Structure 1
Amino acid sequence: MAAVRAGAVGLSKQARFVMYSSTRGSDWDSRDSGNADRSRQNRPSVYGKRYGVAMSNAETVRQRWKMRRRLSDLKVKLCDVTLILAVSGLILAMLDVEFTATRVLEAYVNIEDLSFILRITAIVTTIALLFFLLFYHFIDTKIQLVETGTSNWRVGITSERVLNTLLEVAICAICPIPETGFVAWPQLSAIAEKTRQYVNIPISVLLTLPMFLRFFIVCRYMVLHSSQHQDTATRTIASLNHIAVDFRFVLKSEMYERPLFVLSIASLLFWCVVSWMLTQCERYAYPSISGFQHFADYLWFEIITFFSIGYGDVQVSTYCGRGLAMLTAIVGTLFSSTLIALISRKLILTTCEKRVNHIIAENNITNEHKNAAACVLQNTWRTVLRNRDYDKTNTRRNQQRLAKSQRMLLCSVLTFRKTRWKLRMQMEDEDDYFTARRAFNETEDRLQKVRQRQSQLDGKISTLFENVEALTQAVMARKCYLRQ
């Protein structure tokens, strides 16, 4: 099925492979009515070793491939349409919340009428979104039926797919409704008088906040438009290795290739979205402050909470704000740990870089070891000379010179031991490549010596053979002479 999903089917007159279906019937190719019994006997059983009916007709395989390709293109277009509708409905709801809260257009237009128009338009876009979302899942199920080669809908409609579809429909169905009223929330504060106060928050604002969950369509858009999903070879290899080309795989691939770019974009989007949500949760507790000042303050609050700094100059006074603050702290901890891990991975030297540093360090330590050995020999020679001079003339000057040369000899011996220990530790720290290379060089040297000895032995044997031949000829000549 991996080759079928990738579209690697035979487009020539003969089929490149045999495809099996889960249905037994005349759905795959047309057969004559006179040969129906004979074809049924030769047809492999569904309950045998093979699964389904062999589909050896190249034209049928080609039709299946064309159908899947057409449905896949339609699936991508439906994903694009659902993303546009989801973002449009979210923007309309955000505009309604901002116009209702700030009253910026109250002098030019009736806010109630504008809010009603925006909410009705958001409801229309939501209904269209639900229709295209259900149509998207219908096409996805049909693609699975084409891949499996069956016409039974029970194969494609599973309980997991139904639950996922219902969950997506429930998330996308949330939108602000006209004439929803207000809800009273207690104002949280360290001061007891303020704790007894209640804040009236419009229900339309609370219905707008869950609309950001529609961003799951962005994840689906990323998967369908990614290079991994569009490349046939990548999908084939992934299917053969039992790897699904889903959002998790695409995200991990992008994080591996461009980690800093992905983390930066995700952090900026998260800060902006949660700052706007905090502004809507907290702005009604302080109606005297403008909306932009609220957004700037809570953007600062998001950044310092995201990185676990927390100066305390900006605080939240509602349950909604506290919940978003906890979410920011959790996500910030995950992002910070991921960033530290990526930076640590970037700072780790590669194998080639380790080898370069190892070769340079080994050469330096080897030179130090040779210099230390030379110093030991020099100081030993000087000590012997000073000892001879002291034996000849036992003076104070010769005694001092002898003691100085002995001290220098002792220092050079200690230095030689240290460099030898460093060289030994450097050889122990070398990786497998250097160990194998060193063993190969030592084996090559030994083989070279064996080859030299073998060549010497061959020469000696050749010389001995020549001497034996000469001796044999001399003996034969001597026998002929004696007979005469």
Structure 2
Amino acid sequence: TGKKVWLERRKDRARDEATKAGDLDSTVSRQQRAMEMTTRNSHPDAKADDRNCDGLVNSNGDTTEITVSLSHPGKRISPIEGGSLYRLRDRKFLLEDKRRLCAWGLGAAVLGILLMILHAELCPIVYPPDSIYALSINGLISVSTGCLLILVLAFHYKDVQTSPLLPLHSKLFIIDHNQVDWRIAMTTNRVLGISLELLVCAIHPVGTYLAPGAEPPAMETPGTNTPFDANSTSTPLCLCSSPMEAWLEVELLLSGLMFLRLYLVHRAILLHSKVLLSASYRSIGSLNNINFTFRFVLKVLMNKYPARTLMVFIIFFWFSAAWMLRLCERQLQVVTGDMGIALWLIAITFLTVGYGDVSPKTSCGKVVCLFTGVMGVACTAMLVAVVTKKLALNKGEKHVHFFMMDIQLSKELRNAAANVLRECWLLHRATQAKDRQGEHRYHQRCLLEAIRVFRHLRLKQRKLRDYTSEMVDLSKMQMIMCDLSSNWNSSYRELEQRIISMEQKLVELGQSFQSTSELLSQALQRRLDHRCWSGREACTGQNWSPNSGRNHSRALCSHLRAQNACVQMDGYFTEL
């Protein structure tokens, strides 16, 4: 009921958004028609554009861009298919559907493998090969295989709608380019990949359907002519109900190849990883041109959880390879057909020890052991790298360790220098005593040894300091350089502000000087005018007498002097 309600709400939301998008598209189309009518009215002499036989628009000499639509010409793009927000919403829904389909497909694949293992373990002991139980389990295996094929096809249908031409989640082709015809994305490589995947998922044992009612073949132990004994440690192989030996090999091969379905694990890990679900990861990765593939996710897991990832893979591979070896060796009824012996053989082969106490007898078992050895070498190398990384010192521990080593070497270097001085003094004292030749040679040897130790310690300290200087973190150096650059920029801005303020003050000072000079010139001009006016009044008196003549001459002289002073002051202020 909750799922139905959720689906109804989702449909209503999609319908509302489609209605809004349709209104927006109708408005845009009306605006486009209005613009076309305006253009035609502004150019009445221009001919209407026509279409040629290829469907292209002839612009009649107009240098406009020609757009070729890759979608079907007779199918109209819905409003949901247009607009970036709707495409992003569709992309999110498609990714959720792909994640769900991948999880269901992996569950169907694991269910088929478990049913195959259950049938192989119970068939010769609990029920005969021609019983209804064997037919039922094989039927369930076939049903799970059919469901797996349907889920794989549905997954690739969603995959074509999201990223058909590039690796997984690398580019939205149909959504980004508004494509409706899915056949455009079906390239040759994609068709071959889908076909190979369907072929791998369709593999399962079918011997029960081909020859029902037949008895299982009697197995003989190598080197003897006796049939299989029920009390043996290794149970007989029950993968085929036909007495033909060829069907036995075919059933064995089909059962082993069912483990190829586990390729879906890497797809499920990729689709359910936090790297792909995080929007920050996707945005930063798109800026740096990084494809979020399974390789990138595996690197992230090995960096965050190295021991846990390796342990899970090694344990799963150990049990799977041991059971496949047991399945291969059970047809000859040898000691390696037992599960415990198979686990031991896989372990010593995985660790590249190879005691030689047990070995595979069949070709299938030898192939399994060979593949186990190769995977063991690879896993051992990764395990050594992980352990080395865990045992290595971090930056803080390295700094503390090298600092204490530098202090210790400094102390030893001072002691070595003191030993050199002591041996020099003892050699000098032995040289003064001429009758002590043996002691002289002894102190000379001690002096040479002390010098050698001193030089060795000094070279060791120099190498340690060089290595410590090389350990400076690049991020720390970058931070220091950024701080220096910011300090220089702030100092430059402060100096620039000071220079601007000084220029403003100089301009204000010049203006004040100019105003002061104008005031002084005005004051002097007024005083000189006043003196000149008083001299003229003295020269134009009413009664003339000798005294008045003398006064007149004096006033005239003062008037002339005042005029000369006025002329000189005017010239001075003019120059100023």
| TM, length-normalised to structure 1 | 0.68
- Answer yes or no: is the 8 Å Cα contact 2:350–2:372 preserved in 1: yes
Q: Deviations over 1:106-137 (max 9, x none)?
A: 6xxx9621011111121112111111110111
C-alpha distance in 1, partners of 2:353/2:26? 66
CA RMSD of aligned residues (A): 4.0
Matched with 2:87 is 64
Deviation at 1:429, TM superposition (A): 4.8
Matched with 2:158 is 139
Matched with 1:158 is 187
Question: Which AA in structure 2 matches 1:424?
Answer: L
Deviation at 1:90, TM superposition (A): 1.6
- Answer yes or no: is the 8 Å Cα contact 2:119–2:137 preserved in 1: yes
C-alpha distance in 2, partners of 1:129/1:221? 14
Matched with 2:309 is 262
Matched with 1:7 is none
1:296-311, aligned counterparts within 5 Å?
296-311=340-355
Does residue 331 of the first structure (1) align with residue 375 of the second (2)? yes
C-alpha distance in 2, partners of 1:301/1:248? 31
1:57-456, aligned counterparts within 5 Å?
60-101=83-124, 103-105=125-127, 112-144=131-163, 145-177=174-206, 178-181=208-211, 201=248, 203-286=250-333, 294-381=338-425, 404=439, 407-408=442-443, 411-412=446-447, 414-431=449-466, 434=469
Work out which of the two has the higher radius of gyration on C-alpha atoms and give 1 or 2: 2
C-alpha distance in 2, partners of 1:73/1:425? 61
Deviation at 1:161, TM superposition (A): 1.8
Question: Which AA in structure 1 matches 2:140?
Answer: T
C-alpha distance in 2, partners of 1:374/1:414? 13
**Cα distance change, pair 435–344 in 1 and its aligned pair in 2 (3 A):** closer
Deviation at 1:46, TM superposition (A): 4.8
Deviation at 1:286, TM superposition (A): 1.3
Deviation at 1:162, TM superposition (A): 1.6
**Cα distance change, pair 59–205 in 1 and its aligned pair in 2 (3 A):** closer
Of 369-378 and 261-270, deviating more is: 369-378
Deviation at 1:97, TM superposition (A): 1.8
Question: Which AA in structure 2 matches 1:160?
Answer: N
C-alpha distance in 2, partners of 1:28/1:286? 77
C-alpha distance in 1, partners of 2:276/2:307? 23
Matched with 2:29 is 31
C-alpha distance in 2, partners of 1:187/1:360? 72
| TM, length-normalised to structure 2 | 0.58
Deviation at 1:230, TM superposition (A): 1.2
- Answer yes or no: is the 8 Å Cα contact 1:82–1:132 preserved in 2: yes
Deviation at 1:272, TM superposition (A): 0.8
C-alpha distance in 1, partners of 2:109/2:471? 60
**Cα distance change, pair 376–207 in 1 and its aligned pair in 2 (3 A):** closer
Per the alignment, in what secondary structure is the counterpart of residue 140 of structure 1? helix
Per the alignment, in what secondary structure is the counterpart of residue 33 of structure 2? coil
C-alpha distance in 2, partners of 1:172/1:235? 31
C-alpha distance in 1, partners of 2:150/2:266? 19
Per the alignment, in what secondary structure is the counterpart of residue 285 of structure 1? coil
- Answer yes or no: is the 8 Å Cα contact 1:99–1:111 preserved in 2: no
Deviation at 1:270, TM superposition (A): 1.0
- Answer yes or no: is the 8 Å Cα contact 1:379–1:408 preserved in 2: yes
C-alpha distance in 1, partners of 2:446/2:344? 63
Question: Which AA in structure 2 matches 1:167?
Answer: L
Matched with 1:443 is none
C-alpha distance in 2, partners of 1:309/1:218? 30
Unaligned regions of 5+ residues in structure 2, if any?
1-23, 40-56, 69-79, 164-173, 227-243, 478-576
**Cα distance change, pair 382–141 in 1 and its aligned pair in 2 (3 A):** same
Deviation at 1:366, TM superposition (A): 2.0
C-alpha distance in 2, partners of 1:155/1:339? 46
**Cα distance change, pair 419–122 in 1 and its aligned pair in 2 (3 A):** same
C-alpha distance in 2, partners of 1:417/1:185? 83
- Answer yes or no: is the 8 Å Cα contact 1:229–1:245 preserved in 2: yes
Question: Which AA in structure 2 matches 1:164?
Answer: G
Deviation at 1:104, TM superposition (A): 2.0
Deviation at 1:250, TM superposition (A): 1.1
Per the alignment, in what secondary structure is the counterpart of residue 203 of structure 2? coil
- Answer yes or no: is the 8 Å Cα contact 1:100–1:111 preserved in 2: no
Unaligned regions of 5+ residues in structure 1, if any?
1-25, 48-56, 441-484
**Cα distance change, pair 36–328 in 1 and its aligned pair in 2 (3 A):** farther
**Cα distance change, pair 211–384 in 1 and its aligned pair in 2 (3 A):** closer
Deviation at 1:415, TM superposition (A): 1.4
- Answer yes or no: is the 8 Å Cα contact 1:79–1:221 preserved in 2: yes
**Cα distance change, pair 199–58 in 1 and its aligned pair in 2 (3 A):** closer
C-alpha distance in 1, partners of 2:27/2:225? 81
**Cα distance change, pair 192–104 in 1 and its aligned pair in 2 (3 A):** closer
C-alpha distance in 2, partners of 1:153/1:428? 66
Deviation at 1:248, TM superposition (A): 1.3
**Cα distance change, pair 75–27 in 1 and its aligned pair in 2 (3 A):** farther
C-alpha distance in 1, partners of 2:88/2:268? 23
C-alpha distance in 2, partners of 1:435/1:175? 60
Q: Deviations over 1:153-179 (max 9, x none)?
A: 355322222222111111111122233
The count of corresponding residues between Structure 1 and Structure 2 is 384
Q: Deviations over 1:329-385 (max 9, x none)?
A: 221122222222333344444454444333333322222222222233345455666
Identity of aligned residues (%): 27
C-alpha distance in 1, partners of 2:162/2:470? 54
Question: Which AA in structure 2 matches 1:136?
Answer: F
